[in-house]
Amino acid sequence: MNIVASELYETQLKDILDEMIVTDYKVAKNFKSYLDTIIINIPTKYNKYKKSIYYDNDNIRDVVHGGFVIPFYVDESNDTFVILGIVEKE
């Protein structure tokens, strides 16, 4: 299984990390490091994540981490996971 990050995700993550770095570089670094670990493990653990609250599609699930929600799409026909974005949890 491949993992692909959308441009929207990359942009949103950069903005979030830029804000975190201003406050505390170490917190930003730990957040990103743990997020990378979660994303790398999605192919083996995607069934544990619930259907997304943002999309009406059973193939889109949400990862919750550090007060943020990261929706991802499971594209079984192409054997790929697409990270759609990252938003603050409501």
Give the DSSP letter of residue 56: S
Query: CATH number for the domain including 66?
Result: 3.30.2310.20
Burial of 72 (0-12, 13-18, 19+ CB in 10 A): buried
Q: Could you tell me the residue range of the domain that residue 84 belongs to?
A: 2-88
Burial of 23 (0-12, 13-18, 19+ CB in 10 A): exposed
Q: How many domains does the chain have?
A: 1
Indicate the Cα dihedral angle 35, 38, 42, 46, nearest 10°: -110
CA dist 59 and 63 (Å) reads 13
Task: Render pLDDT for 21-70 as a digit per residue (tens, 0 to 9).
Answer: 999 999 999 999 999 999 999 999 988 999 999 999 999 999 999 899 99
pLDDT at 90: 78
What's the whole-model pTM score? 0.90
Cβ–Cβ < 8 Å for 22, 28 = no
SS3 category, 85: coil
pLDDT at 1: 80
